[in-house]
């Protein structure tokens, strides 16, 4: 088992609040990592730490480096706005640095970000359903009034 880290940074902007941590954490979990995570840094970068088989770390880093920009664009609800914000390519992934002195925590501690993402999506769906429900209720009330007027004639 080895420990390593790499950074994700924007050429012109912070890479925080565009989905980097969520996407990278999801990728690490799906690759079977038990230890690792992505953290927002005070300088606007995202730090990714990993622990596992050296070849597995190298492969995961390569996948992130080659696909992160595409993953972020695909996950975005407003792709054009995101492209304007981050540029093209706009995001850089640093080289993988091996360091056995790193503190690498259980990846389960970071999976909460995936749960919160699903909660946010659920809230958005609920808001839309609630809006539609109000419109439907209003339409039914108007229909009742129309039927009452028709019956009076």
Q: Which DSSP string corresponds to 58-82?
A: HHHHHHHHHHHHHHHHHH-SSHHHH
What pLDDT was estimated at residue 27?
A: 86
Report the CATH number at residue 18.
Answer: 3.30.70.100
Q: How far apart are CA 31 and CA 75, in angstroms?
A: 19
- Residue 84 inside a domain? The answer is yes
Same domain, 33 and 89: yes
Maximum alpha-carbon separation in the chain: 86
- Residue 148 inside a domain? The answer is yes
pLDDT beneath 70, residues of the chain:
12-14, 77-79, 81-89, 108-140, 142-144, 147, 150, 153
Give the pTM.
0.66
């Amino acid at each position: 088992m080895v420990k390593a880290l790499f950074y994700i940074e924007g050429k012109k902007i912070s890479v925080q609040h565009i989905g980097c941590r969520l996407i990278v954490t999801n990728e690490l979990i799906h690759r079977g990592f038990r230890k690792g995570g992505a953290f927002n840094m005070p300088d606007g970068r995202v730090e990714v730490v990993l622990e596992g088989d050296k070849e597995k770390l190298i492969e995961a880093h390569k996948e992130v480096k080659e696909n992160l920009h595409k993953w972020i664009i695909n996950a975005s609800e407003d792709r054009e706005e995101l492209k304007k914000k981050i540029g093209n390519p706009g995001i850089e992934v640093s080289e993988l640095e091996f360091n056995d002195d790193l503190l690498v925590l259980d990846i389960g501690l970071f999976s909460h970000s995936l749960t919160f993402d699903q909660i946010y999506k659920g809230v958005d769906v609920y808001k839309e359903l609630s809006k539609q429900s109000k419109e439907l209720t209003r339409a039914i009330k108007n229909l009742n009034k129309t039927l009452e007027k028709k019956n009076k004639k």
